[in-house]
Amino acid sequence: QAFDFTEKVAIVTGGGGGIGRAASITLSENGAKVVVVDLSEEAGLLTVNKIKENGGEAKFVKADVTKEDDIKNYVQKTIDSYGKINIFLNNAGWEGKIMPLIDYPTEVFDQLMSINVRGVFLGLKHVLPHMIEQKSGAVVNTASGAGLLATPNMVAYGASKHAVLGMTKTAGVEVAPHGVRVNAVCPGVVNTAMMRSIESGFGQGDSAAAETARKQLEATTPDGRYAEPQEIANLMMYLVSDLSSHITGQELVIDGG
């Protein structure tokens, strides 16, 4: 147990996905009670069951983060069950389509912005009041290297992650006087379902081309490999722990160089 999250209550959105599951399990291993939020009930419950099998405490709340009522519901269920929110991993996201900007479907752009930007905004809007009231709390928004660099063929995704960093800076400054911290992580390529989908998109559905895309992405990473979800979770743990008590409004890049 590297951190002490005993008596802490955490919410993890996208908690059924690769990074969200690793983070949820790690929070639990370090003592936190975890509310796992996801659109996929099956994936979210799998995370909760893994936590319970290890003797931890967790609950699943189904939510579509684009819907404000769903956000209010996961916040309220957390308060009803555990009375407070100490840790918030605002992590649910979608990669969208892989195609040039001039061909990019407008409705996919809108849908992606709704998940990756509106969903993150609504999470902040409804979780932060509880943290402000208790004068403590730590939030990590999952941005991306795509929030810092050009993302050819992923215009909406790149724009959305730039927006996540903008919200992180604003929220971090606004709530700092209340003892609440808001930071972002910027992973490079991570070994999750999302990257399988992106590889497939770059390969235009052809599996050999998808494998070539993967090799190219690995080759452009200085340490030569994808991150494992656990490595991203480890950075998140640092950012929600007291070890990072003077870090706020920041983006931390975790991309193998």
- Contacts to ligand NAD by CB under 6 A: 14, 16-20, 38-40, 43, 63-66, 91-94, 115, 119, 142, 144, 187, 189-190, 192-195
Separation of alpha carbons 182 and 202, rounded Å: 33
Nearer to ligand NAD, 95 or 181 (CB): 95
**Neighbouring C-beta atoms of residue 204, cutoff 10 Å:** 11
Q: In what order do the strands lie in the sheet with 251-254?
A: 58-62, 33-38, 9-13, 87-90, 137-142, 180-187, 251-254
Q: How far is the CB of 227 from ligand NAD (least distance, A)?
A: 7
Residue number with the shortest CB distance to ligand NAD?
Answer: 17
Nearer to ligand NAD, 197 or 212 (CB): 197
Tokens standing for residue 169: 């800076």
* CA nearest neighbour of 19 among 111, 109, 140: 140
Q: How far is the CB of 135 from ligand NAD (least distance, A)?
A: 28
Q: How far is the CB of 163 from ligand NAD (least distance, A)?
A: 12
Separation of alpha carbons 60 and 139, rounded Å: 19
Residues annotated catalytic, as ranges = 157
Nearer to ligand NAD, 19 or 178 (CB): 19
Q: How far is the CB of 89 from ligand NAD (least distance, A)?
A: 9
Cβ(239)–Cβ(246) below 8 Å? no
Question: Helix (H, G, I), strand (E, B), or coil: what is residue 257?
Answer: coil
Nearer to ligand NAD, 2 or 193 (CB): 193
C-alpha distances in Å from residue 27, one per residue of 83, 85, 128, 160, 177: 18, 13, 19, 26, 26
